[in-house]
């Protein structure tokens, strides 16, 4: 499987394992280049996303969304970019092996972490004082909101989960108008993607959202907030008739409030549709009771205020309490467990130490009883030397093992690279030689004038000697015979070329030997260095020369009466009859080690 994985994914996974927590978000930003490098919606992009999920990079991005980005390079812009990359990787991903874990755990966790990140950015934006910082935080908040919208647009089953999450409710209950408008735009996208989402909510969550929308319509005077709240409320009323009846019974003065406060503010079409729904028969009797409607409006405002106030305080208090309680409990449990383990280990080590000391002393007493008193000092020195050697051996082995484990990865990578390079070079060399042997004419480099001249000669030749008309079978037969002769010619040419090269090498060697013999110094001036130049590499030649030399030396030591008939004796007979066997076995053979 690793052969088909993008090398950038493997390198990124390897760098992630060695990277610190502060540098990991910046490293994960490279996922966008990897996903964008393939065509959108193609099979290659789906394969890349599956590889990212298989190597745990998408899961890592989900976890690092809730990190504190104040110490990360790029700050909250980096967090927004990471959320954008995460939504891009999740949309279109459909793993076959871990589908249940992906849909039931990873996607809801990613959605919750994105909303938590948006809530943190919103809180920072509300507290920011500098205009530049506010602009950067608002841009990050909008990017995270768009990422959330893109995520549940690609996975429709997440739309109903957005309305149930407390972080989304906190986004709607913010006091900042700009972030409120963005949060309500997310609500409108949820209702457009899945119109049945409000019907699947529990009553408390549904009433919380409706109270907040009505509160914004009654308490705000900003047309942007009014338009967003009106559109969101209209979509919720259109999703289910039961919600319309609930709104009519709970907020009886809403129609009058909309008519007086928001008429002529630039969104008359949506406002008119909402008023038409409120003007239906189910609301006509309720319109007559203005005091009751006013009381309902006041109740809605007051309840929204109380819920918003309680929701602001509750997460901090509960989170702080849970965090402190769990941390304290974990510290106590870990400390108690550590104390027990340390005590058990201490007792066990002490017991082993006592047993080892007892065995060692018993062994020493037994040895001391055996050793002669005069050999006591020698025995003690041997014991000390053996102990020192044991310590040195153990320490050296430990040091070499540690060094080997550090170099093991680099050594494996180096060997793999050498094997791959060697195989690639051999393959390229074989292909180059095959191409050169089969297409020798491609080496010819003709100029334009020469090529034109040859073309004219070819045209004149064809004009004077037109080719006879041939059938298709004859042409195929002629082509086959021409190809066969061409193959035979190429094979014979390579053989003749090798013979010619060997012949040229032999002639060059003969010329070299002749030049060396002509430039050879006299025997009186010969040195060992000159002797090495004339040593033959041929074993038969060196043996024959040695034999001739030995025969000549032998003859020079003969008496005069024995040399009288040497002209009638063959060299071979003299060699075999006069030379002893041990001397033949001691002959020097050039090119051998004996």
Q: What is the pLDDT of residues 98-157, one digit of tens each?
A: 777 878 888 888 888 888 888 888 888 878 777 888 888 888 888 888 888 887 788 888
Contact 45, 96 (CB under 8 A): no
Residue 214: predicted pLDDT: 81
Please check the confidence at residue 224 and state whether its pLDDT lies above 90: no
Residue 445: predicted pLDDT: 65
Rg, C-alpha atoms of the chain: 48
Q: What is the pLDDT of residues 302-323, one digit of tens each?
A: 988 888 888 887 777 878 888 8
- The residue count for the chain: 594
Q: How many C-beta atoms lie closer than 10 Å to residue 5's C-beta? A: 17
Q: What is the pLDDT of residues 494-545, one digit of tens each?
A: 888 888 888 888 888 888 878 887 877 877 777 777 777 777 667 787 788 8
Residue 441: predicted pLDDT: 56
Residue 20: predicted pLDDT: 67
| 25/71 Cα distance (integer angstroms) | 11
Share of the chain above pLDDT 70, in %: 88
Please check the confidence at residue 446 and state whether its pLDDT lies above 90: no
Please check the confidence at residue 425 and state whether its pLDDT lies above 90: yes
Q: How many C-beta atoms lie closer than 10 Å to residue 538's C-beta? A: 11
- What is the 8-class DSSP label of residue 105? I
Of residues 569 and 9, the one with the higher pLDDT is 9
Q: What is the pLDDT of residues 13-22, one digit of tens each?
A: 777 777 766 6
Residue 469: predicted pLDDT: 74
| pLDDT mean over 371-382 | 77
Q: What is the pLDDT of residues 287-307, one digit of tens each?
A: 556 777 888 889 999 988 888
Residue 565: predicted pLDDT: 57
Please check the confidence at residue 422 and state whether its pLDDT lies above 90: yes
Q: How many C-beta atoms lie closer than 10 Å to residue 101's C-beta? A: 12
Residue 53: predicted pLDDT: 77
Of residues 225 and 272, the one with the higher pLDDT is 225
| 113/144 Cα distance (integer angstroms) | 10
User: What pTM did the predictor assign?
Assistant: 0.46
Please check the confidence at residue 594 and state whether its pLDDT lies above 60: no
- What CATH code is assigned to 7-325? 1.25.10.10
Q: Which residues of 258-291 are buried (b: 16+ CB within 10 A; e: fewer)?
A: beeebeeeebeebbeebbebbeeeebeebeeeee
Q: If you average pLDDT over every residue of the chain, what do you get?
A: 78
Q: What is the pLDDT of residues 26-76, one digit of tens each?
A: 777 777 777 777 777 777 778 877 877 787 777 777 777 777 777 777 787
Q: pLDDT grade, residue 218 (50/70/90)?
A: confident
Q: Give the DSSP per-residue string, 147-199.
A: HHHHHHHHSGGGHHHHHH-HHHHHHHT-S-HHHHHHHHHHHHHHHHH-TTTGG
Residue 546: predicted pLDDT: 84
Of residues 359 and 29, the one with the higher pLDDT is 359
Contact 139, 145 (CB under 8 A): no
Residue 410: predicted pLDDT: 82
| 304/289 Cα distance (integer angstroms) | 22
**SS3 readout for 204-228:** HHHHHHHHHHHHHHHHCCCHHHHHH
Please check the confidence at residue 458 and state whether its pLDDT lies above 90: no
* Domains of the chain by residue range: 7-325, 529-585
């Amino acid at each position: 499987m690793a052969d088909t994985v993008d090398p950038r994914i493997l390198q990124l996974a390897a760098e992630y394992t060695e990277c610190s927590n502060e540098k990991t978000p910046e490293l994960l930003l490279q996922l966008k280049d990897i996903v964008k490098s393939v065509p959108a919606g193609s099979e290659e992009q789906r394969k890349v996303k599956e590889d990212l999920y298989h190597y745990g990079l998408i899961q890592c991005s989900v976890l690092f969304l809730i990190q504190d980005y104040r110490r990360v390079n790029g700050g909250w812009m980096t967090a927004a970019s990471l959320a954008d990359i995460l939504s891009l990787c999740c949309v279109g991903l459909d793993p076959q092996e871990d589908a249940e874990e992906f849909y039931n755990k990873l996607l809801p966790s990613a959605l919750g972490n994105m909303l938590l990140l948006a809530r943190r950015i919103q809180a920072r934006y509300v507290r920011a004082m500098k205009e530049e910082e506010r602009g950067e935080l608002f841009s990050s908040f909008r990017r995270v909101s768009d990422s959330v919208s893109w995520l549940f647009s690609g996975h429709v089953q997440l739309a109903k989960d957005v309305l149930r999450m407390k972080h989304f409710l906190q986004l709607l209950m913010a006091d900042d108008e700009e972030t409120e408008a963005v949060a309500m735009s997310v609500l409108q996208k949820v209702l457009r993607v899945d119109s049945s989402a409000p019907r699947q909510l529990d009553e408390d969550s549904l009433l919380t959202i409706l109270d907040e929308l009505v509160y914004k319509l009654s308490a705000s005077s900003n047309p942007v907030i009014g338009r967003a709240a009106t559109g969101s409320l209209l979509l919720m009323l259109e999703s289910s008739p039961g919600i319309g009846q609930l709104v009519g019974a709970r907020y009886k003065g809403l129609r009058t409030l909309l008519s007086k406060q928001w008429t002529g503010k630039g969104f008359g079409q949506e406002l008119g549709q909402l008023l038409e729904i409120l003007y239906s028969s189910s609301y006509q009797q309720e319109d007559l009771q203005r005091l009751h409607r006013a009381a309902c409006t006041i109740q809605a405002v007051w309840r929204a205020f109380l819920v918003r106030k309680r929701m602001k305080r509750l997460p901090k208090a509960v989170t702080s309490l849970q965090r402190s309680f769990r941390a304290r409990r974990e510290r106590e449990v870990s400390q108690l467990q550590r104390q027990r383990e340390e005590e058990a280990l201490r007792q066990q080590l002490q017991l082993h130490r006592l047993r080892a000391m007892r065995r060692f002393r018993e062994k020493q007493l037994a040895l001391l009883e055996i050793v002669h008193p005069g050999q006591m000092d020698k025995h003690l020195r041997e014991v000390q030397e053996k102990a020192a050697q044991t310590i040195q051996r153990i320490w050296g082995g430990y040091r070499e093992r540690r060094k080997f484990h550090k170099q093991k990865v680099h050594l494996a990578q180096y060997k793999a690279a050498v094997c791959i390079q060697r195989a690639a070079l051999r393959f390229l060399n074989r292909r180059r030689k095959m191409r050169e042997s089969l297409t020798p004419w491609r080496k010819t480099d003709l100029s334009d004038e020469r090529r034109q001249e040859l073309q004219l000669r070819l045209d004149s030749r064809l004009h004077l000697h037109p080719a006879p008309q041939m059938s298709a079978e004859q042409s195929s037969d002629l082509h086959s015979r021409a190809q066969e002769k061409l193959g035979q010619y190429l094979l014979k040419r390579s053989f003749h070329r090798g013979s010619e090269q060997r012949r040229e090498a032999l002639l060059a060697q003969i010329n070299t030997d002749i030049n060396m013999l002509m430039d050879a110094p006299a025997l009186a001036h010969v040195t060992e260095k000159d002797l090495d130049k004339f040593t033959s590499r041929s074993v038969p030649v060196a043996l024959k020369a040695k034999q001739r030399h030995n025969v000549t030396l032998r003859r020079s030591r003969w008496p005069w009466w024995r040399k009288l008939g040497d002209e009638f004796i063959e060299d071979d007979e003299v060699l075999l009859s006069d030379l002893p066997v041990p001397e033949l076995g001691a002959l020097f053979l050039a090119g051998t080690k004996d």
